[in-house]
Structure 1
Amino acid sequence: MPRSRTAAARPVIAIAGLGIESSTFSPARTRAPAFHPSRGAEVLDRYPFLAPGEELREAADWHGALVGKSLPGGTVTADAWAELTDELIERLAALPRPDGLWYDIHGAMTVEGVDDAEAVLLERIRATVGPDVIVSTSMDLHGNVSRELVHGSDLITCYRMAPHEDHMETKERAVRNLVDLLVSGAPRPVKAWVPVPVLLAGEQTSTRIEPARSVYAAVAETEAVDGVIDAAIWVGYAWADEPRNRAAVVVTGSDRAAVSAGAERLAQGFWKARHDFGFVAPTGTFDGILDEALAGDRRPYFISDTGDNPTAGGAGDVTWGLTRLLARPEFRKDDGPTVVYASVPGPAAVETAVAAGVGATVTVTAGAEVDDRHAGPVTLTGVVHAVRHGDRDAETEVVVRVGSVYAILTKLRKPYHHEHDFTDLDLDPRGADIVIVKIGYLEPELFDMSVGWKMALTPGGVDQDLVRLGHHRIRRPMFPFDREMTDPDLSARPIPASDQPLSGDDE
């Protein structure tokens, strides 16, 4: 049984974590600066609910160690991992001894030579702060949850919406649950974990539509049961090839029977719906969707160039889509249908355009420096439409107009999620005929703006055709790789408290 603890009127809580989605099917590598780490007191500035004067800020004595979050990308290098984790542990060791720790991660980080990186880091954290510290872990629902990660966490939760409109609400819930547990002095929660052998892309499991809408609605119902603190379903991260990668359910609480029953109910609901999951938008070929957009009158018509989506782990510099777009005769004249394309990195191209200035005609080459498997670098001759400096991700952005195509080129890769991402570059996405973005499901602002929308099934490191990618290390059988597999064992696996040993291999 979990041991009883003494209530803490104003507990000391540390904050630490690293987060990224890492595609192992991309040739890109992620290095330490990509995480933009916050340190010490600046860690608290990341969270509005921990601002001075907020209830949770006053409920505990907060100490930031190190929190870093990277744009999704390729595998994290061993050097970056060592640099960031060593600093995190060093800073954590220098803090006052905590009663609790909030572990703020994504959950899909792949590191060179390290499997289950978040569980490995949590083990180091526990060795630093001691076994009695209560850990609350918050994650993306596209993270991967091993039994080791559940064991190391006393509380664990994830987002309940895709797109992740509840990301800050989830973090606040994880913190509130931690504070409540520390202040009450209640025993460590019991935990039930159920691995579900399903691995689907986020674009197939959006909570905007069924069946994910109903599958996730059951989470709140489970959480409302007496004796349950939190319930969570992870879809998993499909573009990494690791043994831990699959869907999972974890329920935590004080009542072992309620926790186990809730976990099994959620797991069964996810499994039974597996054949019903479909893409969140109609799909098609890149050229076919362009033909449809040009033939119709829905404006603006959004096209998701899905295979190189940087917010899912794509390298971002695949030129396949832009190359095909520029080859279309419809867009060669200035008065052709207006198309905005976001985006392709090209540091040298950006430097040339910046030096030439707005209004100048330039010939530049961009893309395919990292991922050249599908198309080579693309050369554009056009007019510099805009230049912008200072973006957190891109650093510098330029727009080059080629005929009626406005191509956004960046120094470093950047996702385009918000209307201001375009208007800051003197572009009018609402007035465009077609807007092409490297993305999967449209983020809320773009979704609300779109009149037409389809997802183009394009090549890249986050190809939506999972089966053809060639996973070799995931546990099999796994849906949809083994569509006719028999029903799995979805009984709840009780996970001992973090201060008790984890034994066996009940996978």
Structure 2
Amino acid sequence: MTRIAIAGFQHETNTFATGKAGFHEFDIADSWPGLLAGEAVIAQTLGLNLPVAGFAAAARRAHGVELVPLMWCAAEPSGHVTDEAFERIAGMLIDGLRRAGRIDGLYLDLHGAMVTESHDDGEGELLRRLRAELGGALPIVASLDLHANVTPAMVGHATALTLYRTYPHLDMAASGARCLPILMRAIEGAAPCKAFRQAPYLIPLHAQFTGAEPCRSLYRALEEFGGEGVSADIALGFTAADIFDAGPSVVAYAPDQAVADAVVDRLIGAIAAAEGAFDCGMLSPAEAVRVAMANRGDRPVVIADVQDNPGAGASSDSTGLLAALVAEGAEGAVLGLLNDPEMAARAHAAGLGEVIAGPLGGKSGLPGQAPFEGRFRVEALSDGQCRFTGEMYGGGIAVLGPTAVLRVEDARADVRVVVGSHRSQCLDRAIFTHIGIDPSRQRIVAVKSTAHFRADFDPIAAQTLIAAAPGGFPCDLAAIPYRRLRPGVRLGPCGPCSQGMVQYQKSTGRVP
């Protein structure tokens, strides 16, 4: 019987965000389950679109495989992972391995863009410790997010890596499942040769949508590699992590080093050729609202508040798009999910039909952020237990905390806001439907998301617009004050070259 240990430790770190991820953030349930240990790793992720669930399902279908579940946890994207949380969770994982007895391989459900207070490359450091614990021969295979900032350390310490191939991430479980045959071949003695290269430019996340060109063709090219032990994946990178190795990259694995190198060279060439094809444009909030109001069809226009996406570490409480909806006199508009525990609590205390006044949102302390001052009628209330229904997270339960629908009391506009008490990306229509709003029947639907919303909202949308309201997840890469990014990498397709590490060295006199 082949014994495979499985574990997960996921975080996408926005180094420009204010809040940090401590152990509590990994322990609690949010859009995903809370910290799981032992058999709960399998039981409580069963059927979910999660890599660890996909790997476990594939292993159950295989002959002669015994899974040894250790632990799994994830926290909402935010600022740095605290040292205390990283050390504690890494320690739990290693302690679990020591108690597991004989194992033949290890599968890990990781993100690939974790930055801790002390380690720019959180996954690389974790893999280094695991390799030191398990020795150089035992196979370790990990699945990573499409937005991973893959590093030489990750590639070096892992036997192999797979990555999601869709954004929105509809194939998370499938990416985990793809790890099983790779791991089994390595256990049987056929560890692959590796190749890895980084691309010369960054890509903003709203341009990484794999349903549009050029990403659609880039990922379609991966289908050519899948036989004779050859596999390859593209990471598009997470631009809000100011680290040396941020950005797109390619990994490839093959029985022969020359084959792996040739595959990587071919894919990097395709990424280089596609540089000018990425659509990185954004509208101002006012422009987006005016375009949306001009729609005369029977389907809504969806406006994405891409720079206030909590799924990328933003606060989800900025009010730039809300202010534009009101100022431009939007009709039949809803916005969600705005994170404001204080106003949600006041709405619950006041009750249905009552009017409350005060500052809504804008309380994160980010520069240039301010609350939206107004009067709001309480139209609906919820405990925030929200079961997702869309393809990406369907079946999972979001914990939004006390939630309310607040209608802006303003004669110029007809605008409602879904206000929650926990940050949660508006990537599923259930954020609205669970509290009585059918987004398909609105004229304008504003979502705090960058691209994940597309899986559930694009099918009902007459048009999808990208708005550049201020927020904690900057998408104009040339304006981001990178200090640690390697010099020479272009800040966006065809953008200026980074001087980040040069500036860092000049200001500190040292190399990190």
How far did 1:76 drift?
Answer: 1.6
1:496 corresponds in structure 2 to none
1:213 corresponds in structure 2 to 216
- What TM-score comes out, normalization by structure 2 length? 0.86
1:85 corresponds in structure 2 to 90
- Listed one character per residue, the Cα deviations across residues 376-406 of structure 1 (whole Å, up to 9, x for unaligned) are 2233422212222135342222111124211
Secondary structure in 2 matching 1:408: strand
Q: 1:116 aligns with which of 115, 121, 125?
A: 121
1:444 corresponds in structure 2 to 455
Q: Does 2:21 match 1:30?
A: yes
1:253 corresponds in structure 2 to 254
Deviates more, 1:234-243 or 1:433-442: 433-442
Distance, in Å, in 1 between the alignment partners of 2:306 and 2:495 is 28
Q: Does 2:400 match 1:394?
A: yes
Distance, in Å, in 1 between the alignment partners of 2:338 and 2:496 is 41
Q: Does 2:166 match 1:161?
A: yes
Counterpart contact for 2:323–2:372, Cα < 8 Å: yes
Letter in 1 for 2:225: T
Q: 2:480 aligns with which of 444, 458, 469?
A: 469
Q: Does 2:288 match 1:278?
A: no
Letter in 2 for 1:472: R
- Listed one character per residue, the Cα deviations across residues 324-345 of structure 1 (whole Å, up to 9, x for unaligned) are 33344x25xxxxx111111221
Alignment of 1:311-330 (within 5 A): 311-328=311-328, 330=329
Letter in 2 for 1:386: A
Secondary structure in 2 matching 1:74: coil
Counterpart contact for 2:6–2:70, Cα < 8 Å: yes
Distance, in Å, in 2 between the alignment partners of 1:294 and 1:483 is 33
Distance, in Å, in 2 between the alignment partners of 1:139 and 1:362 is 45
How far did 1:292 drift?
Answer: 1.7
- Residues 484/386 of structure 1: CA separation in 2 closer, same or farther (3 Å cut): closer
Alignment of 1:246-395 (within 5 A): 246-279=247-280, 283-298=282-297, 299-328=299-328, 330=329, 337-389=331-383, 390-391=385-386, 392-395=398-401
Secondary structure in 2 matching 1:22: coil
How far did 1:470 drift?
Answer: 1.3
The number of residues matched between the two structures is 465
- Listed one character per residue, the Cα deviations across residues 72-104 of structure 1 (whole Å, up to 9, x for unaligned) are 222222222223222222223222232111111
How far did 1:213 drift?
Answer: 1.4
Distance, in Å, in 1 between the alignment partners of 2:23 and 2:283 is 37
Counterpart contact for 1:81–1:111, Cα < 8 Å: yes
- Residues 114/53 of structure 1: CA separation in 2 closer, same or farther (3 Å cut): closer
Letter in 2 for 1:176: P
Secondary structure in 1 matching 2:143: strand
Alignment of 1:98-247 (within 5 A): 98-182=103-187, 185-224=188-227, 226-228=228-230, 230-247=231-248
- Residues 227/296 of structure 1: CA separation in 2 closer, same or farther (3 Å cut): closer
Secondary structure in 1 matching 2:312: coil
Secondary structure in 2 matching 1:362: strand
Secondary structure in 2 matching 1:161: coil
Distance, in Å, in 1 between the alignment partners of 2:58 and 2:205 is 37
> Where does the alignment leave 5 or more consecutive residues of structure 2 unmatched?
27-33, 48-53, 387-397, 498-512
2:491 corresponds in structure 1 to 480
Secondary structure in 1 matching 2:304: strand
Distance, in Å, in 2 between the alignment partners of 1:366 and 1:95 is 50
How far did 1:173 drift?
Answer: 0.7
Letter in 2 for 1:241: D
How far did 1:53 drift?
Answer: 10
1:503 corresponds in structure 2 to none
How far did 1:449 drift?
Answer: 1.1
Letter in 2 for 1:233: I
Deviates more, 1:477-486 or 1:172-181: 477-486
- Listed one character per residue, the Cα deviations across residues 132-177 of structure 1 (whole Å, up to 9, x for unaligned) are 3211110111101111110111111101122211111111111232
How far did 1:363 drift?
Answer: 2.4
Secondary structure in 1 matching 2:302: strand
Query: Over the residues paired in the alignment, what is the CA RMSD in angstroms?
Result: 2.2
Letter in 1 for 2:426: Y
Distance, in Å, in 2 between the alignment partners of 1:234 and 1:255 is 22
How far did 1:186 drift?
Answer: 2.6
Percent identical pairs in the alignment equals 28
Secondary structure in 1 matching 2:423: coil
Counterpart contact for 1:93–1:129, Cα < 8 Å: no
Distance, in Å, in 2 between the alignment partners of 1:82 and 1:347 is 30
1:425 corresponds in structure 2 to 435
